[in-house]
Structure 1
Amino acid sequence: MPLLDKRASVLSHILTLVILLANMLLPKTGVAQETLDIGLLIANKSQRSAYHQLAVQFEKAYPNITINYIVQDDKHYKHAIDTWLQQETGPDVLYWQAGNRLKKMAASNLIEPLDTLWLEQRWGEDFPLDIQHTLRYNQRIYALPYAFYQWGIYYKKSLFSSLNLSVPETWDAFLEVCAALKQKGINPIVIGGKDSWSVAAWFDYLNLRINGLDFHQQLMNGAIPYTDKRVVQVFNTWKKLIDLKYVVFTVDNKNWQEALPYIYHDIAGMTLLGTFAKHHISNLRSDDIGFFRFPQLKSHMPLYEETPIEVFMIPKNAQHKESARLFLTFVGQHKVQTKLNLALGYDSPYLYATAHRLYPVDSSAPVGQRHGVIAQYFDRDTHKAMSLKGIEIMAEFLTTADVSRATSELEKARLRAFSQAP
């Protein structure tokens, strides 16, 4: 055989071996490698770690897809998401929040309806109807719920025990607890005022307990004036707490996290927060910090609850929609949700992921199966402009207790906000 022919034969064998080796190393699915861009709102290190582990799990299941998180804090994310959705191309999956905020995006045709995916995965059997209700617009469903947290009142167990105080279930009992704490020189309630937003939980709960969910949702949608006598009743009830000096509002110097030591050190008896606070409660104190649902004001009124729901959605301008659906399918598994929420400090909305006790002291209060028994939160349920101005007015109310001024200013804010585009 001529020398050139021998060299050609050797090169051919080498090339064949290279091709065989490459085929062995390539993913066997035959799908080209791609990057899935996912927008995330992350508030702390534990959340960052939780989502990192989710990406590792997903990439192990789908080795042809790489997760690229686009991470923002709360303030910047809510600005960025509007930009992303309006661009010609945007991220493939976005974190967002159920309720009014999600439905506004669906109404603007900015996100993909997911009815087919829900049918394929039979998620209608896996998630409570009241949670599904928060994801629907015009009878179509637009997101996958993967986490929720509850709101209630944190207190120090050993303090209540030392004063022979029981967890109050009614508003009258709650006022009695406040009076007993005040008599011992302990501020009954502390509200972190630096960022102000947690103030709205008091308004939401008082309105839900006094006027019910239907009225609350109409108010959030701008259909009822804040000068309505039923809203005035809410502020009058709130005013009583302020007039009796049951509330400490930390104004500029403390946020809700920095107000938690008020509870540890018996400076204050109670604070109203979401269960996201669990990650911020000192490990040395966690066994001594209890949690109970917001008390009942009217015996005939159902106990509607603040239950903010976290979701993933697919933008209309996503570039990898099939891979995005794979990601949602993966996150829609109950084992994945359970593991993720354990790290986040939240609960999974999946029916089989957790015991679903909204309130540890009340085993009879599971996430409901009926339509519309939960609210999201003031800033999630109403117009953005109304939320921003409304929280500012409510924070001011804690220092003035001026019902007339608060309701008239809120009404002005409602008229401005709902005359604007969404």
Structure 2
Amino acid sequence: MSSNEDRPAHGILRPGFDRRTLLKTLGVGAVGAAGIPLLAACTGGAAPGASASASTSLTFGSGSSDDVPKAAYKAVTDAFTAKSKIKVTTNVVPHNDFQNKIATYLQGSPDDAFTWFAGYRMQYYAGKGLLAPVDDVWEKVGANYSDAMKKASTGPDGKMYFVPNYNYPWGFFYRKSVWADKGYEVPTTFDALKTLCAKMKSDGLIPIEFTDKDGWPAMGTFDYINMRLNGYQFHMDLTAHKESWDQKKVSDVFDTWKALLPYQNPGALGMTWQDGAINMGKKKSGMFLLGSFVTQQYTDKTILDDIDFFPFPEIAMEGQDAVEAPIDGLLLSKKGGNNQGARDFLAFMGTPEGQDAYAKVDPSNIATAKGADTSAFSPLTKKCAETIANAKSISQFFDRDALPAMATNVMIPALQGFIKDGSIDVKNLESQAKALYAAQ
């Protein structure tokens, strides 16, 4: 796991502090920390404890701050308002700020509805009582979703909390024209991937475009190598801390990864994924391990039509059966649960009509509702959809499958240190994991 303003407590903005400045000065929030209402605070919805009532307006917090998804969600809110006559006020926050400050946001003055992720990272906040269940919404839209989508949308108490909008696979993306010119072939094994990397480097390319300024992109490489080496179930058990970090299986992941470090962009820690997409677009790099949202960066149809992808190669077990395919969608804050208009908005998002409105603007992702229009799918989108559909196991992404504090406070600095000098302390990872998971 993406990606767009803040106020101090009590909603009073002090002179000299704009919202963006304040965000930069505050540390990462955690559930249980002081409830400074970060991100866009807003009004709308009934008082806490009231039953959901009819409403003519709602507020929508969005971490989809890049131009394409931002415009896509505007298309959704416009379509919803045209149909329901309910006004939606959208508060867009930079993606990484939204993700890193979500705990304090939900404990402060959150929007009624907001963008978020399925799986453990949703379940965690549901378990803390910070979300409103939406079983009534699922009674209306449940038939539009697969059992896997329903499972990913269910909270620890068995209630429904999440309405999926789209998902997208992670894999290696590349420009077909570069590969055709150089005679490269898609690698299906890790040895073949290393051989290809060596050839690309000798051809003057950055073999693997790699960017980790924002901290989370490197998690995708860890996830894939772990699943390919140790299997999907081990990976999920590790992220849930049912397996320990200080064992050979985990050390083997990093030892295997070391073989790729010489082929990854040496400037990775100073680059965002958007920077990497620009490099690939300019044919400076051979491939880029990222989600299909990478194509949002290409407004030139010539480049867009030149993009292809392949799944992460096989290493030791389960072939390429496991796919990293995070699910994005909408949640209701606890306050938002009292606003019937917000519930209606989530129900609209769970229909083919709502998801088609989004997909017409952002075709890089794959609608999750049955009946959504697939007629305009590009060959690349069709391949992405088939990869997800054929997967035997689907992971959400480390920062969604693991405890939030483990992902943000432990894994990001650990991976960035590894990228910098190839060293990792798995005993330290286990020590921190023990403390964090025991405290939740």
TM-score, length-normalised on structure 1? 0.82
Q: 1:271 to 1:237 in 2, by over 3 A?
A: same
How big is the shift at 1:33?
6.0
Q: Give 1:14's aligned residue.
A: none
Q: Give 1:28's aligned residue.
A: none
- Correspondence 1:262 to 2:262: no
- Correspondence 1:197 to 2:216: yes
1:326-341 maps to which residues of 2 (within 5 A)?
326-341=344-359
How big is the shift at 1:252?
4.4
How big is the shift at 1:354?
4.9
Q: In structure 1, how many angstroms separate the alpha carbons of the residues matched to 2:329 and 2:319?
A: 29
Contact kept, 8 Å, 2:321 with 2:391, in 1: the verdict is: no
Give 2:360's match in structure 1, choosing from 327, 338, 342. 342
Query: What are structure 2's unaligned runs of at least 5 residues?
Result: 1-52
Aligned length: 381
Q: Give 1:132's aligned residue.
A: 150
Residues 141-171 of structure 1 show CA distances to partners (whole Å, capped at 9, x for unaligned) of 2111112222111112122112222122222
- Correspondence 1:180 to 2:216: no
Give 1:401's match in structure 2, choosing from 402, 414, 422. 422
Q: Give 2:294's aligned residue.
A: 277
Q: Give 1:109's aligned residue.
A: 129
Residues 228-267 of structure 1 show CA distances to partners (whole Å, capped at 9, x for unaligned) of 211112111111223xx22223144422221234334443
1:52-201 maps to which residues of 2 (within 5 A)?
52-63=74-85, 65-78=86-99, 81-87=102-108, 90-121=110-141, 123=142, 125-137=143-155, 138-201=157-220
Q: Give 2:402's aligned residue.
A: 382
How big is the shift at 1:285?
2.2
Q: Give 1:24's aligned residue.
A: none
Contact kept, 8 Å, 1:187 with 1:267, in 2: the verdict is: yes
Q: In structure 1, how many angstroms separate the alpha carbons of the residues matched to 2:133 and 2:391?
A: 23
Give 1:43's match in structure 2, choosing from 45, 65, 86. 65
Q: 1:407 to 1:97 in 2, by over 3 A?
A: same
CA RMSD, 1 decimal:
2.7
Q: 1:300 to 1:213 in 2, by over 3 A?
A: closer
Q: Percent identity between the aligned chains?
A: 27
Residues 338-361 of structure 1 show CA distances to partners (whole Å, capped at 9, x for unaligned) of 221231332211132155999755
Given residue 298 of structure 2, which amino acid in structure 1 is its aligned partner?
I
Q: In structure 1, how many angstroms separate the alpha carbons of the residues matched to 2:266 and 2:147?
A: 37
How big is the shift at 1:204?
0.6
How big is the shift at 1:62?
1.4
TM-score, length-normalised on structure 2? 0.79
Residues 108-132 of structure 1 show CA distances to partners (whole Å, capped at 9, x for unaligned) of 22222223332333x2x32122222
How big is the shift at 1:362?
7.4
Report SS of the residue matched to 1:365. helix
Mean Cα displacement is larger for which, 323-332 or 71-80? 71-80
Structure with the largest fraction of strand: 1
Report SS of the residue matched to 2:260. helix
